[in-house]
Amino acid sequence: MAGSSTPDEVVFDMRRKRSAPDLWPMLEALYGSHPGYDSFRDDLEAALAAGWKARPVDLKRLDLQRDIEPDWFQRPNMAGYVFYIDRFAGTLNGVLDKIGYLEDLGISYVHFMPCLKPRPGDSDGGYSVMDYGAINPALGTMKDFKAVSTALRQRGISICVDLVLNHTAKEHDWAEKARAGDPAYQDYYLMFDTPDLPRQYEQTLVEVFPDNAPGNFTHYPEIGKWVWTTFNEHQWDLNWANPRVFLEIVKVMLNLANQGADVLRLDAVAFMWKRMGTRCQSEPEVHMILQALRACCRIACPALIHLEEAIVSPQEMLPYLGRGKHDGKEGNLAYHNSLMVQFWGALATRDARLMAHVLGSHFPDRLTNATYATYIRCHDDIGWAITDEDAAALHMNGPAHRAYLSAFYEGSFPGSFAAGAPFQVNEATGDKRISGSFAALAGLEKARTPDEVEAAVQRILLGHALIAGFGGIPLIYMGDELAMGNDHGYLDVPEHAHDSRWLHRPRMDWALATATEGVSARVLQGVKTILARRRATEGLHAAHPQRVLPCPRNPVLALQRLAPTGTILGLYNFSEHWQQVPGRWLRDHGLLEGYDALSDANVTLHDDQLALPPFGRVWLR
Ligand code: GLC
């Protein structure tokens, strides 16, 4: 660089050079043969430079801080809270009044559920976006967003926002132009003049919403087109084979980063690339695009990280965290869907062996520059993502086991403690997903006796201890820390009534949050303690390797964290019965003295056995 460059320009130039090998080979392979490639390249360079130029000074300082502390998101002080802004605090500005609650709970990361401007009416909970540059007017403005993100950051809380990559609302400006016949914008989407290709694609596609949005294409006679709509009719899939789409989205990302987002939750990424004869999910190009998007952000807004939402099987999920070809260069976070599914599976069966098998055989002991977003509940349904092979490893039949779990959590299986509801039953495949709040699925709604209430409370705390002790960022889903139940009121809201996921998207019950006794108060206190103990336990840093141990007691999951400062052994009892873990087995795994970092107390063996109470959990050191 010339001697007259400002330090700012020097830094940018260094960032460009560092990430160039991660970026350009991907783009060359994806778009090199596109007629507009050269001008796209120039435009992208210009967009990156403009994004950097517009980046506020305080965020550039944050960039430097995170250069120095690249593990900031892997540390045990990280704990997330996920909420709909309107349901939690009314508006964006309302969030400012709730910072105290978040701090008290021990939160250092908030996920604002979709907050960009959605289409009017049913917007799939905000995932049908008509303007990526504006905040949902019902919640506030971009100016409010910037102010709130600054205020949160000053209090040590990072902000995650949703960015939907697979589709826009059909009311988005690009879609409106496409509908009006502009060929440049028609090329932003996947539009067909005849149903022939759509029919061919359908042969191998799956249906995401078979109940209320069957099929993957929508015919619009008024424009004479069949449009690719994987999700709902109003969500038009973007054509990522067009470099202009890539460029537009980079601009959106840099803008959100410069407004103060720390984490972008990239929605429904698996679906971004289409290939005839496949399910059109997780195709290799998806990972090339995601690596290239990551590289763009590392150049122009490096403090920002990416959370990739891919709710798929373990083998298919890990590449989103860079495993394989894109090691260290793709998502920094991805949802640990298997951990969530296996938690519910182990609770129903009172047996942690399938969970241990899946966690132990499919997941590496550590990841490069990445970690999991761990969760038990979120705004979506639970799909029983357990492969036939994994079920067979435990001598179970895959379809039968999945059907059992659906019946159990729907509450129809004899003896089930759960009170959930079915979501998107697929008659053709027998697939039945489940909605319901953590507390309702854990038994609180059906509990009639004090023992049943106690079991539900302990199941809820077991789940929170598991995600806090696992490694990664535990995400608390709003209301779960208060054991809030199902919200049947959604049936009275016309835009929601068709979608049972609204059963577990309640409005925050602030009265419960201030209660000093009762179930909510107990769960709240328990969750706070778990997060506080996590913060105090350095060995839970996500970069330390993790091993799953076969535990001699079937209902107990044993997770070992190999921290250089000392090994931690997490034990989680999934049954309502006491479990005796042999002292010899503990010693074989290096535990000589008994200190439980979770309860911050010493543990003693009786008859050379560690007695774990019903749903008990310990982090032994
Ligand atoms: C993601 C969201 C889900 C939404 C879908 C389509 O999976 O979590 O709520 O329906 O994307 O945008």
Secondary structure element (H or E) that encloses residue 474, with its range? strand 473-477
What is the per-residue pLDDT across 125-138, written as a single tens digit (0 to 9) for each?
999 999 999 999 99
Query: Nearest-CA neighbor of 558 among 336, 360, 342?
Result: 360
270/230 Cα distance (integer angstroms): 11
SS3 259: helix
What's the pLDDT at 3?
63
Q: What is the predicted pLDDT for the residue at 594?
A: 83
Which pTM value belongs to this model?
A: 0.97
- Ligand 1 centre to CA of 268 (Å) is 6
pLDDT confidence bin for 42, thresholds 50/70/90: very high
Judged by DSSP in three states, 169 sits in strand
468-489 b/e (C-beta count within 10 Å ≥ 16 → b) = bbbbbbbbbbbbbbbbbbbbee
Q: Does domain 79-164+249-540 have CATH number 3.20.20.80?
A: yes
Question: Is-catalytic flag, 481?
Answer: no
Average pLDDT, the chain: 96
Instruction: Select from 168, 207, 208, 267 the residue to mutate for testing ligand 1; criterion: most ligand atoms less than 8 Å from CB.
Output: 267
Q: What is the pLDDT of residues 52-88, one digit of tens each?
A: 999 999 999 999 999 999 999 999 999 999 999 999 9
Shortest-distance atom of ligand 1 to CA 501: 9
Which 3 state secondary structure label does DSSP give 69? Answer: coil
Q: Indicate whether residue 375 lines ligand 1 (CB < 6 A).
A: no
CA 125 to ligand 1 center in whole angstroms: 8
**pLDDT 10s digits, 513-546:** 999 999 999 999 999 999 999 999 999 999 999 9
Q: pLDDT tens digit string along 294-334?
A: 999 999 999 999 999 999 988 999 999 999 999 999 999 99
Residue nearest to atom 11 of ligand 1 (CA): 268
pLDDT digits (tens, 9 = 90+) for 424-459: 998 888 889 999 999 999 999 999 999 999 999 999
Kindly state if the Cβ of 457 falls inside 6 Å of ligand 1.
Answer: no
> What's the mean pLDDT in 341-356?
98
Q: Is domain 546-620 annotated with CATH 1.10.10.10?
A: no
Ligand 1 centre distance from Cα of residue 186 (Å): 24
Which 8-state DSSP code applies to residue 109?
E
Q: Indicate which residue of 262, 309, 480, 576 is catalytic.
A: 309
- How far, in Å, from the CA of 306 to the mean position of ligand 1? 16
Residue 462 and residue 346 in contact, taking contact as beta carbons nearer than 8 Å? no
Per the annotation, the verdict on 267 as an active-site residue is yes
For the stretch 554-577, pLDDT in tens is: 999 999 999 998 999 999 999 999
> Ligand 1 in contact with 363 (CB < 6 A)?
no
Q: What is the pLDDT of residue 388?
A: 95
What is the token pair recorded at 319? 């590449």
Ligand 1 pocket test: which of 82, 124, 272, 309 has the largest number of ligand atoms within 8 Å of its C-beta?
124
CB distance 191 to 226 below 8 Å: yes
- Indicate if ligand 1 lies below 6 Å from the C-beta of 228: no
Q: How far is the CA of 351 from the centre of ligand 1 (A)?
A: 31
CA 537 – CA 598 distance, rounded (Å): 8
Say yes or no: CB of residue 125 within 6 Å of ligand 1.
yes
Of 262, 267, 480, 481, which is the active-site residue?
267
| Pair 308, 266: CB distance under 8 Å | yes
**Hunting for tokens 């799939």 — which residue is that?**
124
Whether 268 lines ligand 1, by a CB cut-off of 6 Å, is: yes
How many Å lie between the centroid of ligand 1 and the Cα of residue 265?
Answer: 11
Distance from C-alpha of 380 to C-alpha of 404, rounded to nearest angstrom: 20
- H/E stretch holding 563: strand 556-563
Please state the atom number of ligand 1 nearest to the C-alpha of residue 311: 7
The CA–CA distances, whole Å, from 243 to 28, 226, 539 equal 10, 22, 44
Predicted confidence at residue 593, as pLDDT, reads 73
Instruction: Please report, for the chain, the start and end positions of each structural domain, with discontinuous segments joined by +.
Output: 79-164+249-540, 167-237, 546-620
SS3 sequence of 290-307: HHHHHHHHHHHCCCCEEE
CATH number for the region 167-237 comes to: 3.90.400.10
Tokens of 523: 């769960």
